[in-house]
Amino acid sequence: MSEVSERCEEGCDFEWSLVSSSDIAPRIIKSSAAIADLITAGAKPHARKSQNVWSPIEYAGHVRDVLFNLRDRLVVAINEDNPLCKGLFGTPRIDLGLYVGDEPDVVAEELRVAASLFARTWDRIPDVLRDRTMVYGYPRPADRSLRWVAAQALHEVEHHFVDVRDGLVDS
């Protein structure tokens, strides 16, 4: 499949095919905890470094919602053949103000919960079901295995960890 040589083209070099299925849950928990720690560490997580770049807390909220969204997509794809699931509408959530006023402590806890739920769900999906597929739109529309989608969940967390880290403005 075309999955073999794909690599993130937005700066982090993540390669979906290189991720071991058994590493996904612990890596998601570790990087989500790192994001949670960063946004509660005392800098200004609500501040945007520039107008067009999300703030650290917006990125953290995005990752939280990605984990919930992809967790449910996995369940849908176990029960329907190659479904086309609704997308996250990540940018509209922020542009519509749905994250406005979110407190760092609250988002940090929600992110830890989302990571734990995703990790437990993924670890409980039997190996024989992990080659089932869904249609996935990023980085280009394609039929993707559940393994790939779970790796993509990890990619979202690890990719945006860097955005959170680099986006923190000194207080």
Residue 18 has what DSSP assignment?
G
14, 16, 59, 122: which one binds Zn ion (CB under 5 A): 14
13 Cβ contact partners less than 8 Å away, ≥ 6 residues apart: 7
16 binds Zn ion (CB under 5 A): no
User: Least distance (Å) from Zn ion to the CB of residue 48?
Assistant: 20
Q: Distance between CA atoms of 40 and 44, rounded to whole angstroms?
A: 9
User: Least distance (Å) from Zn ion to the CB of residue 124?
Assistant: 27
The pair of three-digit structure tokens given for residue 20, joined into one six-digit string: 């071991």
8 binds Zn ion (CB under 5 A): yes
- In single-letter form, the type of residue at position 162 comes to V
For helices 56-79 and 146-167, angle between their N-to-C axes, nearest 10 degrees: 180
Of 122, 142, 126, 123, the residue nearest 82 (C-alpha):
142
Q: What is the distance in angstroms between the CA of the first residue and the CA of the last residue of the chain?
A: 48
Residue nearest to Zn ion (CB): 8
6, 12, 44, 121: which one binds Zn ion (CB under 5 A): 12
161 binds Zn ion (CB under 5 A): no
Of 133, 151, 162, 132, the residue nearest 24 (C-alpha):
151
Which range touches Zn ion (CB under 5 A), out of 3-11, 17-25, 28-36, 76-84?
A: 3-11
Q: Nearer Cβ to Zn ion, position 14 or 99?
A: 14
Which range touches Zn ion (CB under 5 A), out of 8-16, 50-58, 94-102, 130-138?
A: 8-16
User: Least distance (Å) from Zn ion to the CB of residue 13?
Assistant: 7
* 8 Å CB contact between 31 and 161: yes
Which range touches Zn ion (CB under 5 A), out of 40-48, 99-107, 134-142, 159-167?
A: 159-167
Which range touches Zn ion (CB under 5 A), out of 2-10, 53-61, 73-81, 92-100?
A: 2-10
Interface ranges with Zn ion (CB under 5 A): 8, 12, 14, 159
